[in-house]
Structure 1
C-alpha cells in the first residue's frame, strides 16, 4: 500500500500528512476506504449521518464527524472546520449514496428528488467547497464512488441510473476544467459489491403487486443472487485508494468482473444486440404485458 505522506504531489508544505474527507463511512466501501486511508498515512476525516456508527474508525485513528451530504449547513461546517484546523482538504472521497430502485412510473417524484440530492447535489456541493483551496495550493484529488450504473442502464433503476449518469457527466466536466490547476478527478465504478447496498432488495417488495410486479420480482432475484458473489468492499476500497495515490490517476476505474465485462460490451455491441441481451435476463420483458386500468395519480401502490 502506498504511503500518503510521500504520495505523488500530496506532501503538504509544512510536512503534515494529507487530509482526506470521506463521506458515507458508516459501512461498506466508505468504511473500508477510511480504514485503508488512515493506515496509509492520510489524516482521515470519516463522516456519516450518525457519528455513533464511526466509533471503530475513531479508535483506529480517524477524525470522525457527523455529515449529512444533503444538508448545506453541515457541508459548509465540516469543510470550514477542516480548513481552520488543517489548512484545507487535500482529497475528497464522495462515497455517500444509495440506490432508489423501482419502476420509472411508480417511484414518486419526492424519492427522485431525494436520490439526486444525495447522489448528485451533495457530492457536487462538497467539491465546490473544497476546490478553491485545492486550486490555491496547486494540488488535490476528488474521487467519486459512482457505479457501472453510471454508464449502462438496466430496468427498475431509472432514478438510480439517472443520478449516477448525472454525477459522471458533472465530474467528467470538472475533470476537464481543473486538471490545469493540479486537481485530479476520478470516478470509481463498482459493479456488484457484497455490501449493505443489497438492502435495497427488500425495498423492491412494495412494487411487486403493481403493473411491473413480475419485472420487479425478477430484478430482486437477480440482485439477491449476484450481490453476494460480487467484489468485496475491501477490494473496492483498494481501488479508491489507487485513485487517491496514483501518480497519473485515470478518470474512471472499474471494480469487479461485471463492470469490466458489461461496460465495454454496452459500448461496442450494436444497440439491438445489447437490448436483446438485457431482455434475456428478464423473461417478463419478452412477454406482452397484461391489460391494466388507469391509475389516477400515475403511481401504483
Structure 2
C-alpha cells in the first residue's frame, strides 16, 4: 500500500537515499531540509521538496500544513534530521550542547506533536525515529550526541505506549556505521573543540581511527531497507538495526559490564 511520507534531513546521507528509494517504490514522498538546493536532484524521482528547519516552529508548522493541504493526511513521519556535536564534555560550550539537543531531540519531538493529530484522526500512522547504536552506548568525546540519541530512544518508548491505542506505530532505527558525510563533520568538530585542549592527544587518536574505520561502513541502502520493512509491516518491530558493527556492538553492550565494554571500545579506537 502506498503511503504519504515525510522525511526530515533529506538533503544528504541516509535521508536523501530514503527519499529517493521510497519515491521510486511508488510512495508520495516529501523530503524536508534547510538546504533545499541539495535536494534538487531528487525531483527527477518524484520527491516533493520542502524547506524545513527542525529548530524553527513556524517552519515545521508550515511544512505539515503544506502536506495535509495537498494530500489530506500523513501516513509516515521519518525523523531523520540530526548531527553529531563532538568534543570533551569539559570543552563543549553549553550553547553547542543545547543546539545538539534542539536538533536531535526537540525537533523530532515537536514534529511528532504536529503530525499526531492527523494520524489519530485517521486511526493509523507510523513514526520512525532514526537513532543510532550510539543511543545504547556512549564513547568518549560524543557525550552530547549520545545524550540526544539516548533521549530519542526513551521518548520513542514512551510514545509507543501512548499512541498504540490509536493504531499508530513507533519504530526506532539504530544504524551502525553507514557511509555519509556525518563522520567527517563530527570528527572535524571534535578537533575544533578539543584538539588544542588537554584532551587533544586522545581526541586526535580517536578522530584518526574513526575516519579509518569509516572505510568499512555500509551503504545507506542497508538502512533504507529497514525503513521499508517498518513501513510495510502491519505490526513492525519496535527496533531495527543495521550497518557496520551494529549487531555486535549492541550485543556486547547488552552482555558486558561497563568497564569491560569501555576497554574493548577504547582498544578499537586507540
**Corresponding position: 1:243 with 2:249:** no
Q: 1:170: which partner in 2?
A: 155
Tell me, in whole angstroms, the C-alpha distance in 1 between the residues paired with 2:116 and 2:134. 26
Decide which of 123, 126, 137 is 1:138's aligned counterpart.
123
**Corresponding position: 1:37 with 2:22:** yes
Query: In the TM superposition, what is the alpha-carbon distance from 1:203 to its structure 2 partner?
Result: 2.4
Per-residue CA deviations over 1:50-78 (Å, capped at 9, x if unaligned) read 21111111121111110011110000011
Tell me, in whole angstroms, the C-alpha distance in 1 between the residues paired with 2:87 and 2:157. 27
Tell me, in whole angstroms, the C-alpha distance in 2 between the residues paired with 1:272 and 1:215. 18
Q: Secondary structure at the match of 1:195?
A: coil
Q: 2:249: which partner in 1?
A: 262
Q: Secondary structure at the match of 2:66?
A: helix
Does the Cα contact within 8 Å between 1:36 and 1:238 map onto a contact in 2? no
Does the Cα contact within 8 Å between 1:36 and 1:241 map onto a contact in 2? no
Tell me, in whole angstroms, the C-alpha distance in 2 between the residues paired with 1:239 and 1:195. 17
TM (norm. structure 1) is 0.86
Q: Secondary structure at the match of 1:194?
A: coil
Q: Secondary structure at the match of 2:140?
A: coil
Question: How big is the alpha-carbon RMSD for the aligned residues of Structure 1 and Structure 2?
Answer: 1.3
Q: In terms of Rg, which structure is larger?
A: 1
Query: In the TM superposition, what is the alpha-carbon distance from 1:191 to its structure 2 partner?
Result: 0.9
Query: In the TM superposition, what is the alpha-carbon distance from 1:27 to its structure 2 partner?
Result: 1.0
Tell me, in whole angstroms, the C-alpha distance in 2 between the residues paired with 1:282 and 1:122. 31
**Corresponding position: 1:203 with 2:186:** no
| 1:1-301 paired onto structure 2 within 5 Å | 4-5=1-2, 18-199=3-184, 200-206=186-192, 207-283=194-270
Tell me, in whole angstroms, the C-alpha distance in 2 between the residues paired with 1:69 and 1:238. 25
Q: Secondary structure at the match of 1:144?
A: strand
Q: Secondary structure at the match of 1:265?
A: helix
Q: 1:288: which partner in 2?
A: none
Q: 1:290: which partner in 2?
A: none
Q: Secondary structure at the match of 1:240?
A: helix
Does the Cα contact within 8 Å between 2:216 and 2:244 map onto a contact in 1? no
Tell me, in whole angstroms, the C-alpha distance in 2 between the residues paired with 1:222 and 1:243. 33
- Structure 2 unaligned blocks of 5 or more: none
Q: Secondary structure at the match of 1:143?
A: strand
Per-residue CA deviations over 1:247-296 (Å, capped at 9, x if unaligned) read 3211111112411001111111122322222343355xxxxxxxxxxxxx
Q: Secondary structure at the match of 1:185?
A: strand
Tell me, in whole angstroms, the C-alpha distance in 2 between the residues paired with 1:259 and 1:277. 15
Does the Cα contact within 8 Å between 2:11 and 2:39 map onto a contact in 1? yes
Aligned residues: 268
